[in-house]
């Protein structure tokens, strides 16, 4: 009997997780397609195939909690080790290219997963205080990441002499931004390989020897 109850508990737990994932993913898609303000809890329930009350049972915080869950999932999914070790042999052009490719691969992976939701927060920030807060926090974190990369490049002599760490941070934050990603990938229709190659070229051309 104990084993049976344990099995039933596991089944219920799996079903609850699946329901949560369905609502989270349906919300993420609707937020990107319709905007955070326009997407309603009923829209999310319909897209997820659940009753509206189920949405609030699983996510008592409503749309905001769903958005935050979707955003956290996008940031974490398949991210692996986001630290980009800076190689020390900057005299080898192939070595430098491998380093830039590593930085770009991590950045592109993040933007492909989370970029659309980042832009949803930006585009909804004028009408919603929570989105304004999330957009600001995301921007600050992106700049902090860019600064960390710029400091690593500078530490190992990979920045041009006329480029300060502050300037490199700003350039990196601009190049590897959800705005540029959206402009080229969604609006411009670039495929991900073209975008990745352009980003590698832009970083090397603007910042490095």
Q: Phi and psi (nearest 5°) for 177?
A: -120, 155
Alpha carbon distance 46, 42 (integer Å): 6
pLDDT the model gives residue 94 = 73
Burial of 198 (0-12, 13-18, 19+ CB in 10 A): middle
pLDDT the model gives residue 5 = 62
Domains of the chain as residue ranges with CATH: 2-74 (1.10.10.60), 82-207 (no CATH)
Q: What is the pLDDT of residues 117-175, one digit of tens each?
A: 999 999 999 999 999 999 999 999 999 999 999 999 999 899 999 999 999 999 999 99
The strand pairing partners of 208, in sequence order, are 159
Q: Does the structure show a pLDDT above 70 at 38?
A: yes
Alpha carbon distance 111, 105 (integer Å): 10
pLDDT the model gives residue 156 = 87
Q: Does the structure show a pLDDT above 80 at 51?
A: yes
Work out the pLDDT band at 64, boundaries 50, 70, 90.
very high
CB 66 within 8 A of CB 59: yes
- Give the residue carrying structure tokens 């970029």: 115
- Give the residue carrying structure tokens 């994932």: 21
For residues 84 and 151, the model is more confident at 151
Q: What is the pLDDT of residues 138-148, one digit of tens each?
A: 999 999 999 99
In this structure, the number of other CB atoms found within 10 A of the CB of residue 199 comes to 23
């Amino acid at each position: 009997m104990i084993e049976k109850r344990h099995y039933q508990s596991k089944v219920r737990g799996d079903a609850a997780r699946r329901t949560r994932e369905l609502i989270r993913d349906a919300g993420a898609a609707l937020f990107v397609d319709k905007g955070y303000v326009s997407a309603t809890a009923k829209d999310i329930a319909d897209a997820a195939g659940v009753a509206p009350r189920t949405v609030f049972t699983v996510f008592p915080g409503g749309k905001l909690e769903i958005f935050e869950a979707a955003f956290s999932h996008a940031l974490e999914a398949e991210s692996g080790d986001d630290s980009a070790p800076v190689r020390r042999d900057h005299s080898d052009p192939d070595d430098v290219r491998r380093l830039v490719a590593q930085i770009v691969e991590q950045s592109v992976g993040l933007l492909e997963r989370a970029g659309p939701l980042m832009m949803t927060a930006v585009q909804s920030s004028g009408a919603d205080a929570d989105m304004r807060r999330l957009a600001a926090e995301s921007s600050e974190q992106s700049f902090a990441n860019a600064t960390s990369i710029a400091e690593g490049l500078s530490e190992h002599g990979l920045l041009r002499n006329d480029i300060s760490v502050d300037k490199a941070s700003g350039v990196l934050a601009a190049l590897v931004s959800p705005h540029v990603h959206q402009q080229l990938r969604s609006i411009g229709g670039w495929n991900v390989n073209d975008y990745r190659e352009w980003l590698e070229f832009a970083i090397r051309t603007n910042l490095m020897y």
